[in-house]
A and B are shown apart, each in its own frame.
Chain A
Amino acid sequence: MVLAQATRVRAVRRLPPAGLVAAGALVGLAVLLPVAFMTARSLGAGTEALDVLARWRVAGVLARTVALVVIVAAASVSIAVPTAFLTLRTDMPLRRVMAVATVLPLVVPSYVAAYVAVAALGPRGMLQGVLAPLGVERLPEIYGVWGAALVMTVISYPYVLLTVRAGMMRMDPALEEASRALGRSLPRTLWAVTLPLLRPAIAAGAVLVALYTLSEFGAVAILRYETFTWAIYTQYEAAFNLQAASSLASVLGVLALGIVWLEARTRSRGRYYRSGSGSVRAFVPLRLGRWRWPALAATTVPVLAGLVAPVGVLVYWLVRGLGRGERLDAVLSPAWHSLWLAGLAAVVTVVAAVPIALLAVRYPGRVSGLLERVSYLGFALPGIIVALGLVFVGAKVLGPLYQTQALLVAGYAIIFVSVAVGALRSSLLQLNPHIEEAAQSLGLSSWRTLVRVTLPLVLPGILAGAALVLLLTMKELPATLLLRPAGYETLASSVWSAVSEAFYARAAAPALVLIIVTGPPTAYLILRDARRPRASRTGVDPS
């Protein structure tokens, strides 16, 4: 904290080395290129594009998308706020365990959750099979808005939970005590003081969930709910109508950037809510009395729905599939491909992130700020837009690269570079710049200082960033589908193709491997991040 303070004070305007700026500019251009291509494409279409928009009932897609986003955000908030309160502020039994457990559903990739929902609750699914002998002929429809909302909510409410919990931990207990001393009962205090103070945290989490839902592709596709992402994909993949796809993508891009703008606004407004300096005293835990066990039961519901049930269903289908001749070793080659691609992507992404993070922290200014914002674009825009843009780039200028691993890895790097920047940024902020200046005064050039002093010291940040990118890449679906070399199966793509053809048993093995490999480290990184006093902006994609 003290060091971070010192760096902020020391942030004097200095001119960055030309090499660093050039490297940063290169990364910025790489991120901009696909987006620029796609924008040009849809603008170039002119009135024809409007026609296309009209033809594809863009209004309908828009309404469906917005409806899903609003429902998921609202449902996530209504699960997350009480859960955060129960696990943080009461004497609920096992609250420490539940504080961790309630975050875990976010390790389930969205398309896996959707597949599980269909396999368990869909027609010909497990539940139907169990209930059919009892005379139940139809279950409520899992396809459509409610199914999509259910699946998206149980895996994305943890994002609201994380921001709300961080907000609650920063809160000064004296504020509630002041309200109690002024004669307001606990429920009134929660309503008049606690909730308004948490509003920025709730808004930040809700906006995050909204953005993820907007970008979501796999789950809505599997649950046959036509939002922008799926409409874009079908235009591209089924009709090969690039015109319609890019027009739809522009509308989606504007929507996404609108939400990001909203998020930035809630973030800056939140600042004045922050309580004063000094260490925050712990809250006196609220005694729940006879509601202790019911409270525990209530907090386990989302964990059961978002983690336990999906894993159980996967195990069921795996066993069933093995009994019917599915081969377990079929998962080996996709698993290896996933690891290989994700490893490559992690290295490339971190290397690309270094100049951006260095410029932003050590040489703050207009150019550095612009580059950082540009690098965030890849993350803010739905992956399918970046992927589609790269398809255009590949087709127009980089012909030989189309459908190669190189283009796919570039896609991953563009999408996730800001995640690595975030991780690097927070560890650079903790590094006292005097250490670098001492090295230079001892005769090291700025380049050698970077290699021998700065990078070794921020190695934990580099590794954390690389690990995060690796995990996110393994779970990534839309860019993988659009950009992968023909026939090159990864874990994500094998889940997708098996589910698209309703081979539920065949999808179980890759889905389980995906959760087992990415789940624990993802949970570790997120929980480690959440325990820090200042939540860093790593930002993790749920898909």
Chain B
Amino acid sequence: MSTESQQAAIALHGVVCAYPGAAAPALRGISLHVREGEFFSILGPSGSGKTTALRVMAGFERPGAGTVSLAGRVVSAPRLHVPPDKRNVGIVFQDYALFPHLTVGQNIAFGLRSVPPAQREAAVEPLLHMSGLEGLAGRYPHELSGGQQQRVAVVRALAPGPVAVLLDEPFSNLDRQLRGALRRDVRSLIARSGATAVLVTHDREEALALADRVAVLAEGRVEQVDTPQQLFEQPVSALVAQMAGPCELLPGTYRGGAVETLAGTFLAEWPGGALTDGSPVQALIRSYELAVEPVAPEGAPVTCAQVLYAEFGGAVVDYDLRFGSGHELRLRQSSDLNLEAGQTVRLRLKAGRTLRVFPANQAAGD
């Protein structure tokens, strides 16, 4: 633990944070260790406390319990609160919060307090160059495009050489088509500066594409911290699975290394400990692990399904299936399959795959 906090750019220990008047605390004791130089992401649905976590790091909120350290220095603890301006943490807001009364150059130079005013213009120049904003130093924020505004916000946050730069849903205000390109821009901008970054988002694509490691937050608690790939492949809860990729959950019963569901019996695994036979579980259904096979409609068992609807999407087709039990499931398959509505099908686990299951009571969220 102690070695981890030494190399951590940002360390949170048991942080609790409640807003006055709120029914439940926004953070219910979270611990996170963001390593130096890494691109860390906090992923969670709205109301999970992710923005609060970021505001606690920046010093805008005061935790009720727990400690926060930045580069080994304790900045929040019981009876200790270092104000935001003494933390040297950069922040990029969702709406960028560019100072509308200052030019681009003045915005970027705003945090360069150690540079004498006469030299600020010169100091800003390489930053403008690095971010592809040459020639825009004299413009006002409202004269820039959304993407340019965002780059100014990122460069402004990076300019003073912060311990870490915190990004609060910085892409949510942008056109969906622009996001991909801008994500790469921001990623390389931050990578070149060598700064540690924390991205808060509810967009899984964003978190998984950008981050070295992702923390999944739910209801003020950390569910799992892992690399994007591990989150996707080895989620510790149904909630993490849902946050990490498109999936469906099927209720079933665990018995002897397999799960019995209304869609059939499949090989199953649960890494969280021993499951007793007969215990109710939730099976994680991901389209790519399952094959859909047409069968003859006559005498098909109840675990077979009927294709209700096929939604063509180019290389893939989304099938809505209804099982004999009445349960419905949506699966994405390659368009080679070419099923039609009304056909009878069954599900088969692809070779070498195992369905991940979660104890049912866990999935219900305690």
Q: Which residues of A pack against B, CB within 8 Å? A: 172, 174-175, 177-186, 189, 192-193, 196-197, 199, 272-276, 278, 284
Contacts and interface: CB of A to CB of B under 8 A. Distances in A.
Given A177-B60, A181-B85, A273 B95 contact: no
Interface string B156-181: 11001000000000000100000000
Contact of A276 (B58, B95, B113): B95
Interface in B304-337: none
Given A180-B85, A181-B84, A184-B113, A275 B58 contact: no
Contacts of A186: 83, 85
Q: What are the 9 closest A-B residue pairs judged by CB atoms, nearest first? A: A182-B111, A174-B97, A180-B84, A174-B93, A181-B91, A178-B97, A196-B101, A180-B85, A276-B95
B232 interface: no
The secondary-structure label for the interface of chain A is helix
A185 B83 contact: yes
B172 to A, nearest CB: 10
A317 B184 CA distance: 76
Contacts of A180: 59-60, 83-85
B61 interface: yes
Interface string B72-96: 0000000000011111111101111
A96 to B, nearest CB: 14
A407 to B, nearest CB: 49
Among B60, B84, B86, which residue has the most Cβ atoms of chain A within 10 A? B84
A183 B110 CA distance: 9
Interface in B98-129: 99-101, 110-111, 113
Interface centre among B86, B101, B140, B156 (most CB of A within 10 A): B101
A85 to B, nearest CB: 18
B101 A177 contact: no
Nearest to A287: B62
A275 B93 contact: no
A181 B95 contact: no
A276 B90 CA distance: 21
A193 B93 contact: no
Given A177-B84, A193-B99, A284-B60, A183 B91 contact: no
Contact of A178 (B61, B88, B91, B140): B91
Contacts of A284: 60-61
B139 interface: no
A493 B305 CA distance: 89
A272 B95 contact: no
B123 to A, nearest CB: 14
B101 A183 contact: no
B142 interface: yes
Contacts of B96: 276
A529 to B, nearest CB: 25
A181 B168 CA distance: 13
Given A182-B160, A197-B101, A172 B84 contact: no
B95 A172 contact: yes
Contacts of A175: 97, 99
Contact of A183 (B100, B142, B160): B160
Contacts of B93: 174, 177-178
Given A177-B93, A181-B90, A272 B85 contact: no
Contacts of A174: 93-95, 97
Given A185-B83, A272-B100, A272-B142, A177 B95 contact: no
27 contacts: A172-B97, A174-B93, A177-B58, A177-B93, A178-B97, A178-B156, A179-B85, A180-B84, A181-B85, A181-B89, A181-B90, A181-B91, A181-B157, A182-B111, A183-B111, A185-B85, A186-B83, A186-B85, A193-B99, A196-B101, A197-B100, A197-B101, A272-B140, A274-B100, A275-B95, A278-B95, A284-B61
Contacts of B142: 272
Contacts of A177: 58, 60, 84, 91, 93, 97
Contacts of A197: 99-101
Nearest to B101: A196
Interface in B12-39: none
Contacts of B87: 181
Given A177-B84, A272-B100, A273-B101, A182 B95 contact: no
A179 B142 CA distance: 18
Contacts of A276: 95-96, 173
Nearest to A197: B101
Contacts of A275: 95, 100
Nearest to B113: A183
B58 A182 contact: no
B40 to A, nearest CB: 18
A175 B142 CA distance: 15
A130 to B, nearest CB: 47
Nearest to B93: A174
B85 A184 contact: yes
Nearest to A179: B110
Contacts of B58: 177, 181
A421 to B, nearest CB: 30
A185 B85 CA distance: 6
B325 to A, nearest CB: 44
A171 to B, nearest CB: 10
B85 A183 contact: yes
A178 B85 CA distance: 9
Nearest to A273: B100
A275 to B, nearest CB: 7
Nearest to B95: A276
Interface string B207-226: 00000000000000000000
B89 to A, nearest CB: 6
A180 B111 CA distance: 9
Nearest to B60: A177
Contacts of B84: 177, 180-181
Contacts of B86: 183
Nearest to A180: B84
Nearest to B91: A181
A91 to B, nearest CB: 10
Contacts of B88: 183
B64 to A, nearest CB: 14
A182 B156 contact: yes
Nearest to B51: A281
Nearest to B149: A276
Contacts of B60: 177, 180, 284
Nearest to A188: B85
A178 B55 CA distance: 11
B13 to A, nearest CB: 22
A237 to B, nearest CB: 49
Contacts of A278: 95
B97 A182 contact: no
Contacts of B99: 175, 178-179, 193, 197
A222 B173 CA distance: 58
Given A284-B60, A284-B61, A182 B110 contact: yes
Nearest to B84: A180
Nearest to A274: B100
A180 B84 CA distance: 5
A193 B85 CA distance: 14
Interface in B278-322: none
A268 to B, nearest CB: 14
Interface string B138-161: 001010000000000000110010
Nearest to A277: B95
**Max count, chain B CB within 10 A of own CB: residue among A183, A193, A196, A273:** A183
Contacts of B156: 178, 182
**Which one of B61, B87, B97 has the greatest number of beta carbons of chain A within 10 Å?**
B97
Given A177-B84, A178-B97, A284-B60, 17 more contacts: A174-B93, A175-B97, A177-B58, A177-B97, A179-B110, A181-B84, A181-B85, A181-B87, A181-B111, A181-B157, A182-B90, A182-B156, A184-B110, A184-B113, A186-B85, A197-B100, A197-B101
